[in-house]
Amino acid sequence: MAEQNLEKIKVKIAGMHCASCEVLIERQFLSLEGVNQVFVRSGKAVIYCSTRPSVEQLQQAITPHGYHLTALDGQKIEVINDTKINAKKDYFQIGAIFLLVMAGYLLLKQFNFISTNFGITEQMGYGFVFLVGLVASISTCLAVTGGLLLAVSTKYNAGHPELSSSQKIKPLLYFNGGRLIGYAVLGGLVGALGSVLTFSPKVSGVITILASLAMIILGLQLLHLFPGLQRFPVRLPKILAHKIHDLSSSDSKLAPFSLGALTFFLPCGFTQALQLYVLTQGGAFYGALIMFFFALGTLPALLSISILSALIKGKVQNYILKFAGVTAVLLGLFSMQNGLVLAGNPLGQVSQNKSQTVLGDPNVQMIDGRQVVKMKINYLDYYPARFTVQRGVPVEWVIDAAKASGCMSSLLVPGLGIREYLPRTQPKKITFIPSQTGTYGFSCAMGMGTPGAAIIVVDSPNDSDQSSCDVTYADCLKS
């Protein structure tokens, strides 16, 4: 192997938290004279070189990007003003930012600017996706994309010295135009692929949970709260990122547009979380819109990349990364609820209560031996959202969905095996007989609805022959 004739250097690096960091550091080290190969993973790097770079050269290559060496060939390196290790003031700042973000959320929610169902879900709204893009753009998740933009812009302008100042912004426009169109087209392809596959509600819920976990992990990595998480970056193959970067050496006018579109494949956990989600939706048009609005959210930062690269340094950069981290964690937590509902909510959606006895629910009327429940859907909420019925007694659930919004025209009760379409033209009547006590959450097919919405099944005071009926009201009447 070629490495046998090269000197091998092992270093440890602080400040990393994603696969984009790895790609960026590899390219910075490769730019040093005498460095032939670099492999970076989980805070460690192996460098193969024909001419050994000095510690100062290695530090200078990565320090401007917020990273620094902590060890070289097993020897610790003293680091001055290490801003990547949290001190007490960092935890105080994180707490303060958390309170500010939550206060802003509650204020916007109070004035109905934000839905109660804020998170990854079919009706999450393109504003939510745009916000995810904004968060991603101010995190180092898009450091590679920003570096790529600067590289292709510089190369393009160098190859066309005759351009005026106004014409030199063209590569920025080409790059971002390619990014918007590429994300829409490729997002549509991912959605189309999902339409070929059939995902059960439980599988969709698990995928939503995974996407939410990816956002939470990214946020915690940005906040440096759990150092061990740095070893688990959300990644695509790094060779793909390097191949895309290599294209930036072209001075073709088509290169900026093509590279902008290809950033769809660069390592970014936020991007991959949404790609995974779009796959479950089974719609090319919806997938295209989701990825388009995500790219649109990153647009302000990328258009201002030269200005931001000069401004976002030191304390300002530190505060912005903390804000991005807190926001990412909160977005992930909000989204987690929808996934748990779809997956059957293993944290307590279905619980067995063998000794409960019904005390009477004003939302449930006993008519001719049936438990009749009338429920209305207004926008994204159920009225009532919770009601109690007796085990073994037929239930007639009448749902008025005339004012239902989006996916609320569907109903899913995983624990009872109910999945129904709710027409707007007339109330929908659903009949069933609950055979087991417990709490059964219900929502729209994408996990939305009033938080905590559930059917509570308790023992009947006169539990007898009714408990032997089948699961549908019609079957019980036949017996």
Residue 59: CB atoms within 10 Å: 17
**pLDDT tens-digit profile of 103-135?**
887 776 666 555 554 555 544 567 778 888 887
Q: Give the pLDDT confidence score for residue 115 in this predicted structure.
A: 52
Long-range contacts for 470-476 (Cβ within 8 Å, ≥24 apart)? 470/433, 471/416, 471/417, 471/432, 471/433, 471/435, 472/431, 472/432, 472/433, 473/370, 473/394, 473/395, 473/396, 473/431, 473/432, 473/433, 474/431, 475/433, 476/394, 476/433
The bridge status of strand 44-49 relative to strand 35-41 is: antiparallel
CA distance 292 to 312: 26
The pTM is what? 0.51
**pLDDT tens-digit profile of 42-57?**
778 899 998 888 888 8
Note whether 2-76 and 364-478 share their fold: no
Instruction: For residue 100, give the H/E element and its range.
Output: helix 88-110
CATH number of 2-76: 3.30.70.100
Domain ranges of the chain: 2-76, 88-342, 364-478
Concatenating the DSSP letter of every residue in 225-258 gives: S-GGGGG------HHHHHHHHHGGG---THHHHH
Q: Tokens in use for 71?
A: 């060890």
Write down the architecture of domain 364-478 according to CATH.
Answer: Sandwich (2.60)
Pair 73, 9: CB distance under 8 Å? yes
pLDDT beneath 50: ranges in the chain: 1, 80-83, 117, 122-123, 309-311, 346, 348-358, 464-479
What totals of helices (H) and strands (E) does the chain contain, helices first? 14, 15
Report which residue type is found at 62: I
